[in-house]
């Protein structure tokens, strides 16, 4: 059966890392014996340059018909003064696809310990962040002037069903991995967090085999650093997830090592897959971007949108082995180019 995929390469190193990742995808697809139908469209600054719109109608139409979208990165200094900004294209895309859970797996690869003082070998986990609610979207919000002084405000709001669906996803992931679910909130202070915790307690009735650890976000931040091995599957609201997922990135050592999935359910769901890093304009066009984040996003895509768990494992193992052999791009202190590193990963996959 053919799988269809919309590719949005975007700006800066976006096209460079996407091209590398697609080589890995082609290999995995060939091995798996199926075809991937790809369609490419514009987003971000590249789309502004060609159409004046960071999320043009043609791209929107393609995305509306697609279940799986793969993105590079958007943005760059050349659009800083443009009335429309490339990043708004990405926000519009995410909103359009109606994806409410952002998954950020993290893994400390062997040999990467030196890039993070906190890294412990073989540390792995996943942050599941609610993406459409809370402080980032609640109304009312805005600026005003009160007694001659500027004021700003936003509202945190969650409906129970918005909490329940992401919490349920958290339980499913924890159950599959056979690990506890860590739920992070601030239920000692915030109403939204009280509803969050209550919902977790209700949903857990359906998952009697999954231990639950509740943590307040402040305590979680400290414990995550001191005992990261406890944080194998974490589920939390939008703001806390934004912060904790970057903390997890810090544990791993480099932004270039993280992939992400944004989905609306368990495996088989719609999904947007992208590396966590941005468009890295400082190294654009040099052929030295680290493709690992994009390649790991391919593994996530195969696993979550297509249910291809085995090839996803091969890809991850090939990255581990390639790094273990000492190959790396300059951001990790090595001399490989994007192309030569990707070539090494493909060679490793051949051996599987
Ligand atoms: P960035 O992630 O693009 O770069 C930060 C630093 O990490 C730079 O020194 C860069 O060279 C390095 N870096 C990032 N990815 C790398 C990779 N794969 N290989 C080697 N080195 C890598 O973040 P920055 O500089 O804050 O933002 C640059 C542009 O990207 C901005 O326009 C920003 O708005 C946009 N951006 C886009 C994102 C997205 O499309 N999802 C996410 C973050 C930023
Ligand atoms: Mg962030």
Residue 121 has pLDDT above 80, yes or no: no
Distance CA 282, CA 9 (A): 17
Tens digit of each residue's pLDDT (9 = 90 or more) over 230-280: 999 999 999 999 999 989 988 887 888 999 999 998 877 789 999 999 999
Please tell me the residue having the least CA distance from ligand 1 atom 16: 256
Q: What percent of the chain has pLDDT over 70?
A: 100
Residue 3 has pLDDT above 80, yes or no: yes
For ligand 1, whether the C-beta of 9 sits within 6 Å is: no
Tell me how far the alpha carbon of residue 247 lies from the centroid of ligand 2, in angstroms: 9
What Cα–Cα distance (Å) separates residue 174 from each residue in 96, 154, 233, 350? 28, 32, 6, 31
For ligand 1, whether the C-beta of 336 sits within 6 Å is: no
Question: What pLDDT shows up at residue 47?
Answer: 97
Question: What pLDDT shows up at residue 113?
Answer: 78
Name the residue of 279, 294, 319 whose CB sits within 8 Å of the most ligand 1 atoms, as the mutation to test its pocket.
279
For ligand 1, whether the C-beta of 132 sits within 6 Å is: no
Q: Before 151, cis peptide (omega within 30)?
A: no
Tell me how far the alpha carbon of residue 324 lies from the centroid of ligand 2, in angstroms: 29
Ordered domains of the chain (ranges, CATH) = 1-115+254-352 (3.40.718.10), 117-121+140-252 (3.40.50)
Please tell me the residue having the least CA distance from ligand 1 atom 8: 280
Residue 208 has pLDDT above 80, yes or no: yes
Please tell me the residue having the least CA distance from ligand 1 atom 27: 278
Distance CA 339, CA 6 (A): 22
Question: What pLDDT shows up at residue 273?
Answer: 98
Question: What pLDDT shows up at residue 344?
Answer: 98
Question: What pLDDT shows up at residue 343?
Answer: 98
pLDDT average, residue stretch 287-311: 94
For ligand 1, whether the C-beta of 75 sits within 6 Å is: yes
Question: What pLDDT shows up at residue 152?
Answer: 97
For ligand 1, whether the C-beta of 294 sits within 6 Å is: no
pLDDT band of residue 117 (cuts 50, 70, 90) is: confident
Range scoring the smallest mean pLDDT among 2-6, 36-40, 240-244: 2-6
Catalytic residue ranges = 136, 186, 218, 242, 246
């Amino acid at each position: 059966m053919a799988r269809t995929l919309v590719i949005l390469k975007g700006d800066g190193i976006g096209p460079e890392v996407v091209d590398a990742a697609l080589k890995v995808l082609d290999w995995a697809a060939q091995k798996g014996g199926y075809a991937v139908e790809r369609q490419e469209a514009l987003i971000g600054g590249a789309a502004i340059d060609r159409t004046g719109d960071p999320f043009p109608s043609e791209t929107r139409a393609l995305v509306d018909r697609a279940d799986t979208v793969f993105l590079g990165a958007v943005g760059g200094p050349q659009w800083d003064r443009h009335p429309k900004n490339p990043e708004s294209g990405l926000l519009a895309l995410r909103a359009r696809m109606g994806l409410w859970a952002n998954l950020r797996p993290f893994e400390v690869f062997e040999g990467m310990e030196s890039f993070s003082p906190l890294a412990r070998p073989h540390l792995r986990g996943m942050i599941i962040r609610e993406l459409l609610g809370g402080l980032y979207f609640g109304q009312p919000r805005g600026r005003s002037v009160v007694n001659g002084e500027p004021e700003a405000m936003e509202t945190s709001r969650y409906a129970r069903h918005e909490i329940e669906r992401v919490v349920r996803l958290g339980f499913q992931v924890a159950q599959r991995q056979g690990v506890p679910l860590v739920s992070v909130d601030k239920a000692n202070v915030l109403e939204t967090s009280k509803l969050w915790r209550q919902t977790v307690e209700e949903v857990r009735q359906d998952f009697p085999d999954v231990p639950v650890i509740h943590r307040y976000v402040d305590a979680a931040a400290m414990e995550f650093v001191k005992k990261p091995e406890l944080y194998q599957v974490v589920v939390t609201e939008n703001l806390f997830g934004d912060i904790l997922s970057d903390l997890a990135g810090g544990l791993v050592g480099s932004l270039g090592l993280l992939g992400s999935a944004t989905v609306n359910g368990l495996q088989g769901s719609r999904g947007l897959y992208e590396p966590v890093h941005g468009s890295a304009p400082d190294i654009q066009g040099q052929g030295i971007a680290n493709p690992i984040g994009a390649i790991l996003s391919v593994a996530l895509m195969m696993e979550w949108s297509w249910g291809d768990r085995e090839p996803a494992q091969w890809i991850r193992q090939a990255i581990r082995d390639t790094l273990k052999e000492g190959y790396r791009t300059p951001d990790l202190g090595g001399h490989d180019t994007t192309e030569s590193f990707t070539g090494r990963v493909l060679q490793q996959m051949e051996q599987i």
